[in-house]
Structure 1
């Protein structure tokens, strides 16, 4: 009986589930190199453009990974990373560029969006509605198929090689990814918690994921209304 219960718990932990997570958040309560959430994208394609938006809450000022997409050819296929003193990095196809001078509110919810366009070779970040300058990033590059997408850890290789000192500690919610550059008015809608088009690659309203290690799903405790426009 104990063995059957153990096998049930293992399968429950390692089986992807799809949920509407509106009003919920993933909490990473301790620093570790074992806790993460693996996300399953709704489409499997080569990306030439992309946008990722999310909200995070943390009291750490050290390095930590906010969104890690790895591919068999590039460990940092698409990475959103926060450095000390409010500097953020956006990485695409293993090329990383820093974005200093953006908001960095500890113990507050922060809204973060990153965009990338291969044709223009430009990347940009938005934090709490404040935009960065556009910077040269991976011109002509691509994000390959079969991505490994994780919250809570930074992948130094495809699907693994986690560093405890770069793990995320705090709460993450409202994760969306699009296969195009989201226009500024839609980014502002996301920041302001008003109607926006959910991600067509990842959508918080229909998220397929697996939790591993010490990760808890909790109420996000954000005083807002989740007025989200349906796709189509």
Structure 2
């Protein structure tokens, strides 16, 4: 799972929540700003990744990897790897997924807490059914040519909007500005 985000929030918030009927936190990424922790759930097992500063008003890239075979989870924040943690192993995600950006699901497709909602911008969401190599993660982080996600591909995403959401095309960077 890989994406970019931008916010000015200084409180805890959910970024990505994938639930199935069997597992509310089948794959979840949640920031705990007050503790400099990013929490990852895989099949309802959690791993806390400590010491990740996410300065406000800055774009961040976040990659969460998890192998169902051995249960190893790892975060990459702005291209820098975390230590690895063991979570749940032996079962891959199965069932009909419900995926929510910017909010944690406390029930399948609902049970939202407004105090944990993300306010900001999310872009370039990709998810694969395998753990990416460090080289591929760096390619994504550095905006180089990378293989789009085979589970979620931001460029071909079918989605529904709920609440106050603005969808806009990616703006080209200004080149050769004079002034």
Paired residue for 1:93, among 40, 43, 61? 43
Shift of 1:62: 1.0
Match of 1:71 in 2: 20
Which ranges of structure 1 fall in alignment gaps of 5 or more residues? Answer: 1-51, 225-232
Structure 2: stretches of 5+ with no match in the other structure: 175-179
Q: Structure 1 residue runs of 4+, over 3 Å off?
A: 219-224
Counterpart CA distance in 1 for 2:31 and 2:65 is 16
1:53 to 2:2 alignment: yes
Deviation at residue 60 of structure 1 after TM alignment: 0.7
TM-score (structure 2 length as normaliser): 0.92
Q: Secondary structure at the match of 1:142?
A: coil
Shift of 1:219: 4.6
- How many pairs align? 173
Larger radius of gyration: 1
The Cα offsets for residues 160-207 of structure 1, whole Å up to 9 and x where unpaired, read as 100001111100000000000011111001110000000001001111
TM-score between the two structures when normalised by the length of structure 1? 0.71
- The 5 Å alignment of 1:24-173 reads 52-85=1-34, 86-173=36-123
For the aligned residues, what is the CA RMSD?
1.5
Distance 2:142 2:160 in 1: 29
